[in-house]
Structure 1
Amino acid sequence: MTYPAVARDSVRALSSSRIRDVANAAMGRADVLPFWFGESEQSTPDFVRKAAEASLQRGETFYSQNLGQPALRQAIADYLTALHGRPFDMERVGVTGSGLQALMLAAQLVLEPGDRVVAVTPIWPNLVEIPRILGATVERVPLGITGGRWQLDADRLIAALTPDTRLLILNSPGNPTGWVIDRETQKAVFEHCRRHGIWVLADDVYERLVYEAGQKSAPSFLTLAEPEDRVISANSFSKAWSMTGWRVGWLTVPPSLSADLTKLVEFNTSCVPQFVQAGALAAITGGETYVKQQAGELTAARDRLFGALRALPGVELPEATGAMYAFFRITGFDDCMMLARALISETGLGLAPGSAFGPEGEGWLRWCYAASPAKLNEGIERLSRFVAKRIAA
């Protein structure tokens, strides 16, 4: 008897990334302007690259501590202390091989097969597929649009967070919408989860990319929770420091999880390379000026793109005050995969289909505006021609 060589059912049931489905068909084409991935077109700052180069020159190519070098863990704890205005101990910090691995490790820490997970959506698909890989089920609570802004119905979310819920996943500022949770809602959700013993996994990757005047970062669950509360924060160097290809992030966990997190890191990747950690240390200790500069540039890019899109006929673009995306739709185009492919074939404009972020995103498109003014202007011009042509037809 020959047995079929197939993966287990829960893996085979996973959906492929629709962002990749669109991008892979056009990557490398010189005539396509790509705005489909969530990353800055700027290379990592020079001072970060030089720190990694110096580490390599010193021959630092050996295994490191599972949770990261003490100097980097302490620097992250100091950064969190300064950012959030309350003390954080390095024992709560674990360095991970990307923000994505941080999310996977967090899920591995708390989820069992059959557990119930609630997620605020639309959301980056990896966040809801990770629990499914581990055999959990996911209920989606969608954002709505009120007064031209993305809004979370707190009552609806809290109703979904039944006592048998194991984990809430919440990404704010959100990918793809740019929605940012307000403090009052965050506090109500946290208090409900604490009362029922529900874990909170906060994807804080975009927390520094906020555009309200005087705002240093998005509201954080870490500032509401005591160290031993059931709150885990996943973060990354990818966005605020333009280090997507470095694959380095961190987790902030209750102290009681530290030993178990150490074991999970060992059995997943063992450790993050020393020279990558050297770059991360340079970023977290010397990159505040860069973070603020990038936030200013993204604010200008956001204002330019949002204004141009809203000037086009049939475009709906709710207000968003965080992340690096415009999430919009055009009247008359209900199939966003078809629309994304048409934009590539007819105008050379590469956007991500909204359905990649769940059924709530059907009919929508995501445009990453972490790009130069010239590239944004050309993209706007291409979309304008496309819309004008379709209206004329």
Structure 2
Amino acid sequence: MNGQGLGLSDRVAGMASNQIADIANLGRDDPAVIKLWIGEGDLAAPDFIREAAEQALRDGHTRYTYSHGLPALRRALADYHARHWRDATGAPLSLSPDRFSVTAGGVQAMMQAFQSILEPGDEVIAPVPTWPNLAEIIRITGGRFVPVPFRVSAAGRFSLSLDDIVAAITPRTRAIAINSPSNPTGWLMPRAQMAALVDIARARGLWIMSDEVYGHFTDPDPETGLPRPAPSFLEVTTPTDRLLVTNTFSKNWCMTGWRAGWIIFPDGMGQVFENLSQYNTTGVATFIQHAAIAALNQGDDGIRALVRRTMVSRDVLLAALQAVPGLRIVRPQGGFYLFFGVHGMNDSFATAVRILREAGVGLAPGSAFGPGGGNFLRLCFAIDPALATEAARRLTAFFQAPAQT
């Protein structure tokens, strides 16, 4: 029931069901199912993070604190960005802690981002297929989602044409939303293309909303073998550019259930996000913020180990599924998803239900990700390589059976 007849606002009554959650709810409690539907790894948060939360509880950090977030956490966020990203001169990225606000996860960071800039009817352009929450958050905050399809090569690789973005701009356009590395496609926006998009936005007075939650999930530098995060819009902008960057503790530190994230905003918007935090949630639980400080200050080695483990599982699944006739598998440039096409599939949701019931593997239907996703399924490979091997075995058997779609 969607609440029709109850006097709800149109934008709330019209919210679409999240098909990923619909699939997950069919098998969430079944221990025999290999759960690859949601963007979540199979590891608990590291011991040192949990111990920091426990210590904070013992120390009585259970009261209200700054709506923006603890000053020590905002300082740790600034230091974290300086360690991992570089500005246009090659120097460590220098961001003031005053440009950060702590949120109840990346979803809430995005909600606040659009609350801060959208008027009713404002348009937000975004490449599709994309994370389904994006379109619904834009709707809830009064905006209109404008999809621009990725271009897809004959080999199945996704790319974004900035000409297509420009063609979609109208007098009502307010923002361009980018998620790189992309959920679900694995597309990664090159730094030069980011800079070009910034120029487009500056010339038209538009905002860029950048969701950078998968920034560490990339291959190492081929020359040095060292970790190489994905490019960030923060590297090609100034503190006064119309840029909002959202992120989360969920992916890098296995903290999905903790609900902690952050938003980075331009100089001069601190009070705006202070107010938004106050009136949305009053702030993130204080003891969780202490755990987040530990994650940032002690977790870099853990991120590197997690990314290596994840990419081993990616390669296990790639090797197996690329050998299956009828599947179109493209190596993702970043993130931790395989978004693969299935020849002859006419209902990705129904196919995902069949795979769940017959193969015991939970996948997300491509139709959940909007225009262009219907012929795809999404698989999260942020799992143990042994589990990836078993998932590959089950999926191979399913897709090699007759009438699999």
Normalised-by-shorter TM-score class: over 0.9
Query: Distance between the aligned counterparts of 2:108 and 2:238, measured in 1?
Result: 24
Q: Deviations over 1:275-306 (max 9, x none)?
A: 10011000001100001111111111111111
**SS of the counterpart of 1:141?**
strand
More moved, 78-87 vs 156-165: 156-165
**SS of the counterpart of 1:390?**
coil
Which residue type is aligned with residue 402 of structure 2? R
Find the counterpart in structure 2 of residue 320 from structure 1: 332
Find the counterpart in structure 2 of residue 157 from structure 1: 165
Indicate conservation of the 8 Å contact 1:163/1:198, yes or no: no
Query: Distance between the aligned counterparts of 1:309 and 1:166, measured in 2?
Result: 41
Task: Choose the corresponding residue for 1:206, options 209, 214, 223.
Answer: 214
Q: Deviations over 1:147-169 (max 9, x none)?
A: 44221122112222345410111
Task: Choose the corresponding residue for 2:246, options 234, 245, 267.
Answer: 234
Indicate conservation of the 8 Å contact 2:181/2:214, yes or no: yes
Q: Deviations over 1:9-55 (max 9, x none)?
A: 11111101001111111221233221101111000000000000000
Query: Distance between the aligned counterparts of 1:307 and 1:162, measured in 2?
Result: 44
TM-score w.r.t. length of structure 2 = 0.93
Q: Deviations over 1:66-123 (max 9, x none)?
A: 1001000011011112222221100101111111110000000101111111011111
Question: How many aligned residue pairs are there?
Answer: 391
- For residues 40-51 of structure 1, the aligned pairs below 5 Å read 40-51=41-52
Task: State yes or no: 1:139 paired with 2:139.
Answer: no
Task: State yes or no: 1:256 paired with 2:268.
Answer: yes
Indicate conservation of the 8 Å contact 1:163/1:196, yes or no: no
Find the counterpart in structure 2 of residue 74 from structure 1: 75
Which residue type is aligned with residue 313 of structure 2? A
Query: Distance between the aligned counterparts of 1:74 and 1:335, measured in 2?
Result: 48
Find the counterpart in structure 1 of residue 117 from structure 2: 110
Which residue type is aligned with residue 81 of structure 2? L
Query: Distance between the aligned counterparts of 1:73 and 1:189, measured in 2?
Result: 28
- For residues 11-22 of structure 1, the aligned pairs below 5 Å read 11-22=12-23
- For residues 116-127 of structure 1, the aligned pairs below 5 Å read 116-127=123-134
Which residue type is aligned with residue 10 of structure 1? R
Find the counterpart in structure 2 of residue 364 from structure 1: 376
More moved, 157-166 vs 237-246: 157-166
Indicate conservation of the 8 Å contact 2:320/2:396, yes or no: no
Query: Distance between the aligned counterparts of 2:327 and 2:129, measured in 1?
Result: 19
Task: State yes or no: 1:287 paired with 2:295.
Answer: no
Indicate conservation of the 8 Å contact 2:309/2:384, yes or no: no
Find the counterpart in structure 1 of residue 89 from structure 2: none
Aligned CA-pair RMSD: 1.6
Task: Choose the corresponding residue for 1:193, options 194, 197, 201.
Answer: 201
**SS of the counterpart of 1:366?**
strand
Indicate conservation of the 8 Å contact 1:340/1:351, yes or no: yes
Which residue type is aligned with residue 253 of structure 1? F
Indicate conservation of the 8 Å contact 1:55/1:275, yes or no: yes
Indicate conservation of the 8 Å contact 1:150/1:320, yes or no: no
**SS of the counterpart of 1:255?**
coil
Find the counterpart in structure 2 of residue 63 from structure 1: 64
Find the counterpart in structure 1 of residue 255 from structure 2: 243
**SS of the counterpart of 2:354?**
helix
Query: Distance between the aligned counterparts of 1:70 and 1:112, measured in 2?
Result: 31
Q: Deviations over 1:142-187 (max 9, x none)?
A: 1122244221122112222345410111100011111110122211
Indicate conservation of the 8 Å contact 1:161/1:193, yes or no: no
Find the counterpart in structure 1 of residue 401 from structure 2: 389
- For residues 326-345 of structure 1, the aligned pairs below 5 Å read 326-345=338-357
Query: Distance between the aligned counterparts of 2:151 and 2:308, measured in 1?
Result: 28
Which residue type is aligned with residue 151 of structure 2? G
Query: Distance between the aligned counterparts of 2:61 and 2:55, measured in 1?
Result: 9
Find the counterpart in structure 2 of residue 221 from structure 1: 233
Q: Deviations over 1:194-233 (max 9, x none)?
A: 1111000000111111115245211111111110110010
Find the counterpart in structure 1 of residue 28 from structure 2: 27
Which residue type is aligned with residue 161 of structure 2? D
Query: Distance between the aligned counterparts of 1:384 and 1:86, measured in 2?
Result: 44
Find the counterpart in structure 2 of residue 39 from structure 1: 40
Indicate conservation of the 8 Å contact 1:118/1:160, yes or no: yes
- For residues 299-314 of structure 1, the aligned pairs below 5 Å read 299-314=311-326
Structure 1 position 391, deviation (Å): 6.2
Query: Distance between the aligned counterparts of 2:378 and 2:295, measured in 1?
Result: 28
Which residue type is aligned with residue 83 of structure 1? H
More moved, 20-29 vs 274-283: 20-29
Indicate conservation of the 8 Å contact 2:128/2:371, yes or no: no
Indicate conservation of the 8 Å contact 2:227/2:304, yes or no: no
Gaps of 5+ in 2: 86-91
Query: Distance between the aligned counterparts of 2:303 and 2:150, measured in 1?
Result: 28
Indicate conservation of the 8 Å contact 1:148/1:319, yes or no: no
Which residue type is aligned with residue 146 of structure 2? E
Query: Distance between the aligned counterparts of 2:220 and 2:340, measured in 1?
Result: 20
Task: State yes or no: 1:98 paired with 2:105.
Answer: yes
Query: Distance between the aligned counterparts of 2:96 and 2:117, measured in 1?
Result: 21
Aligned identity (percent) is 39
